[in-house]
Amino acid sequence: MNRTRLFGLLTLSVLLAACGQTSPQVAVAPDAAQASTPAYVDGELLVQLKGGLSSQALTSLSALGVQSVETLATVNGAALLRAQITDGQSVTAKAQQLQASGLVRFAEPNWTYQTQAAPTDNYFADGTLWGMKGNFGSGAETAWAAGKTGSDSVYVGIIDEGYQFDHPDLKNNAWLNPYDPADGRDNDGNGYVDDTRGWDFANNDNSVYDGGTRGSLDSHGTHVAGTIGGTANDGGVVGVNHNVTFISGKFLGRRGGNTADAIKAVDYFTDLKTRHGLNIVATNNSWGGGGYSQAMYEAVVRAAKANILFVAAAGNSGTDNDVTASYPSNYDTTAGAGYDAVIAVAAIDKAGALASFSQYGKTSVDIGAPGVAIMSSVPYNKYSSYNGTSMATPHVTGGVALYASLNPNATAAQIRAAILSSATPTPSLSGKTVTGGRLNVSGF
């Protein structure tokens, strides 16, 4: 399947604190009228060597005006490096020079990402949580009535901002790492000391929530978490799952995020699953803005091989992703993993119409889900309504987790097929998505 798409949240008047910064980290954001030009970290490249990491290879890189900053991964015995340009050349020129040198497998920009949302603001009973109901919602209410409310043994990675893990609606579903208790040591040897709730790759520390008591940061990640799995009967909102376990892979900080940190976040969840056997079924990816990255694609493939789905926002430029390539929702892991682990999500409103801002694509965007006027949790124990494909995406991630709770032996490919095959045909999505339909978890 040919995927071409962009990213996660409607550009309106309010810019999330985590994304409203200046260069070098922040990407130029698309809005409802015009897609962005992908941006990248100035003076940096992602470089994969052809052979192992050796002093000779590093010396050769240095002679070409590039200095290794860190090793992100080792792929088939070859080091993937985050590298700094030391001779003043542009990112484009240096990438071309390295490609021509024969020393590297590939050299590419360290693309930047961000997310935007528009806040508009005992939400289920009064109909505010329309995305959980029937009509054009996800059908979660019907599943709950049948006793299908999820399971704490199903894990979901939130690759995003951080989230307020002690929010009243989230604290009962927040992961507490049993493999690395807070004692100042890296007990499980994964390279992250006291990653008790996950890891903050943007700031390289274990504090995955930086919103403080006034919630100035991490509102987007907190909103996403509430839609996936806000707990029931606590007076606030409720998610697709009443029971699920969140793990934070924070890579969007005050200055947005970049490919290098996104790769580390994806690999973090792959390692948790392969090292400890955690039942991580999906990551939620409500972000975007960069160009194609071979390094990022291969990280998604590594996760796919570990049976982890990659649920991604289609984007908010209102454009056709079959025509204009967009990432990360564009990635298709079929060639690398043997099946496509990506689910790209468009947004619909409560009348079933494709949202005016939502990107779409008959062959590149898989399914629609509620993404307009979505109420969910935000920091400082509050709630707010946001618009965007970033809001549609966690409905689908929640659906993945719900299905996995009911079918514990299902593979990632089988879960993906179940999500897409159960989509309800929707006129606004006909010819606009692969399924021509919207998320419907009522029959799980």
**pLDDT over threshold 80, residue 382:** yes
d(CA 143, CA 2): 33
d(CA 268, CA 159): 10
d(CA 68, CA 113): 22
Q: Is 157 helix (H, G, I), strand (E, B) or coil?
A: strand
372-392: average pLDDT: 94
The β-bridge partners of 313 are 345
Tell me what pLDDT residue 261 has. Answer: 97
**pLDDT over threshold 50, residue 8:** no
**pLDDT over threshold 70, residue 265:** yes
Task: Tell me the pLDDT tens digit for each residue of 47-68.
Answer: 998 876 676 777 888 999 999 8
Helix, strand, coil: what percent of the chain each, to 5?
A: 25, 25, 50
Mean pLDDT of the chain: 88
d(CA 87, CA 65): 5
Distances from the Cα of 65 to the Cαs of 58, 83, 95, 175, in angstroms? Answer: 11, 10, 11, 43
319-338: average pLDDT: 94
Residue with tokens 């009973």: 125
Tell me what pLDDT residue 142 has. Answer: 93
**pLDDT over threshold 50, residue 95:** yes
DSSP string covering 322-365? TTS--TTTT---HHHHSS--EEEEEEE-TTSPBPTT--B-TTT-
Most confident listed range (203-217, 230-244, 259-273, 372-386): 259-273
**pLDDT over threshold 90, residue 37:** no
Angle at 369 between CA 127 and CA 381, to 5 degrees: 55
- Percent with pLDDT over 70 in the chain: 88
Amino acid 99 reads Q
Tell me what pLDDT residue 236 has. Answer: 86
Tokens of 60: 């050769």
Tell me what pLDDT residue 123 has. Answer: 63
Tell me what pLDDT residue 272 has. Answer: 98
Tell me what pLDDT residue 60 has. Answer: 84
Tell me what pLDDT residue 135 has. Answer: 87
Tell me what pLDDT residue 58 has. Answer: 78
Tokens of 264: 């580390």
d(CA 228, CA 170): 10
Contact 237, 123 (CB under 8 A): yes
**pLDDT over threshold 60, residue 28:** no
Of residues 38 and 202, the one with the higher pLDDT is 202
Task: Tell me the pLDDT tens digit for each residue of 162-186.
Answer: 999 999 999 999 999 999 999 999 9
CA-based R_g, the chain, Å: 20
Provide the pLDDT confidence category of residue 231 given band limits of 50, 70 and 90.
Answer: very high
Contact 393, 346 (CB under 8 A): no
**pLDDT over threshold 80, residue 215:** no
**pLDDT over threshold 70, residue 1:** no
Length of the chain measured in residues: 444
**pLDDT over threshold 70, residue 259:** yes
d(CA 442, CA 66): 54
Q: What is the pTM of this model?
A: 0.89
Active-site positions read 160, 220, 390
Contact 386, 118 (CB under 8 A): yes
Least confident of 25-29, 65-69, 324-328: 25-29
Contact 224, 160 (CB under 8 A): yes
Distances from the Cα of 125 to the Cαs of 202, 238, 253, 409, 410, in angstroms? Answer: 38, 11, 34, 34, 33
**pLDDT over threshold 60, residue 32:** no
Tell me what pLDDT residue 127 has. Answer: 66
